[in-house]
Each structure stands twice: as structure tokens, then as C-alpha cells.
Amino acid sequence: MLINEQERNALYKVIYGRRDVRSEFMPTPVPNEVLLRILNAGHHAPSVGFMQPWDFVVVSEEFTKAAIKQGFDAANAQSAQLFSGERQEKYNSLKLEGIMDAPLGICVTCDRERNGPIVLGQTIKPEMDLYSTVCAIQNMWLAARAENIGLGWVSIIDDKVLRAALDIPERIEIIAYLCLGYVSEFSEQPDLEKHGWLARMDINDVIHAEKWSAQK
């Protein structure tokens, strides 16, 4: 099945318009069929040995979100201490999560034992199942953007907090906690670029011909 130019341009529009949303969430409910389309996009990600190791825990109760938010606050206070001076001030001025603002949370996990102990394609690189789960997240991120729904990946939470709040067994790997919801706007630039935390690198500095060590 061929993709035409218009469809190709639509993909690039979604890729370039995607943001890691923290500040612009609105309480507008996300219809269930829209949520299902986003999850189904995740479920159709590539996976090593076709093992489909992901699970999606959909969080919508205030009580659950509050426990997760508390975990973020503790982890964030601890993290801020790793920066100093101006950099710490800047860190503390950034909003790094939208846990309570977003109507939905999705915890994405990886079941490393799914479909048997030996996984085709994972015999040499044991982390492949974790990476497959991340591919599912990126599919969901783009699907959400195409639904005009913002998504933010909150990584400043101890796994222990999510395990307790969402009753996740020890043998299950926690990959991400995502916040989802309609937004007041999608920023033109990533938040951290806009606020001067770091600049976008020149793409020529990350492309190498034939050898990693080659003149970029």
C-alpha cells in the first residue's frame, strides 16, 4: 500500500508538531473511543519476536493521581539538589509534570516473560523488549498528537511509587508514566528549548558517514 505525498506530509506535520506537554492540559474529558485509538496505535508498534510485551494501565481517579503526584514532588525536590546556582533556580522554575491537570494517566509497563523465556531477536540484546515498549509509547505519542491531544512523559517518579499506587508486580518493568489530555495550545518549540535549558543541535552534528568517528 503506497503512501501519497499528502499523507507523508501529514506524518511530518504530526512529528514536528508533537510536544512533551506539562502546562497546557485542559480538563475536557477524552472520549473512550479516542483513548482506544491511541492505545491501539501503541499495540501496533514493532516488537522483538512479535512478543508484544506492553501493558497499559489507564489512570483516571483523583486519588490515584494524587499518590503519583506526591511521588513526583518528593523525587523532584531530591533531583533539584543535583543542580546548583543559576541552573538550580532555572530547574525550580520549570513545570515538569501535569499529573493532576491531565484527565488521564497511562502507565506503560513491560512484561519480560511474556510469550516464553526465549525471545526471537532478543538472544543477543536482552534489552530489546524494553525498547519495543518504548516504540509503543512513541506510536501513542504521535497518535495522541494526531487526535490533538497532548501527552507528557513524567520520568521523575520512583518506580516504587507507581508500583504501590497501581499495584504493579515486582516482575513487571515500569517504562513510563504518561499524562494525556486536550490542551489549550501546542507550543511552537519544546519547553526546554523555549526556556533556554538547552538548544536544538544541528542535525549535521549527529550524522556520520560509514564510521562513528568520521568527520561529521
DSSP string for 155-196 = --S-HHHHHHHHT--TTSEEEEEEEEEEBS---SS-HHHHTT
Please, which residue, 28 or 78, has the CB nearer to a second copy?
78
Whose CA is closest to 130, among 51, 72, 59? 51
From the CB of 96, what's the least distance to a second copy, in Å?
Answer: 7
From the CB of 185, what's the least distance to a second copy, in Å?
Answer: 9
Instruction: Pick one of 83, 89, 92, 113: the residue that binds a second copy (CB under 8 A).
Output: 83
Residue 102 in the binding site for a second copy (CB under 8 A): no
Q: How many CB atoms lie within 10 A of CB 214?
A: 9
Residue 107 in the binding site for a second copy (CB under 8 A): yes
Residue 14 in the binding site for a second copy (CB under 8 A): yes
**CA pair distance 119, 128, nearest whole angstrom:** 9
- The residues in 35-54 that bind a second copy, with binding defined as CB under 8 A, are 36-37, 39-41, 43-46, 48-52, 54
From the CB of 122, what's the least distance to a second copy, in Å?
Answer: 7
Angle (deg, nearest 10), helices 62-80 and 85-93: 170
Distances in Å between the Cα of 48 and the Cα atoms of 32, 45, 70, 115, 174 are 29, 10, 35, 11, 18
From the CB of 101, what's the least distance to a second copy, in Å?
Answer: 18
Residue 70 in the binding site for a second copy (CB under 8 A): no
Instruction: Pick one of 64, 67, 70, 73: the residue that binds a second copy (CB under 8 A).
Output: 64
Instruction: Pick one of 29, 89, 113, 125: the residue that binds a second copy (CB under 8 A).
Output: 125
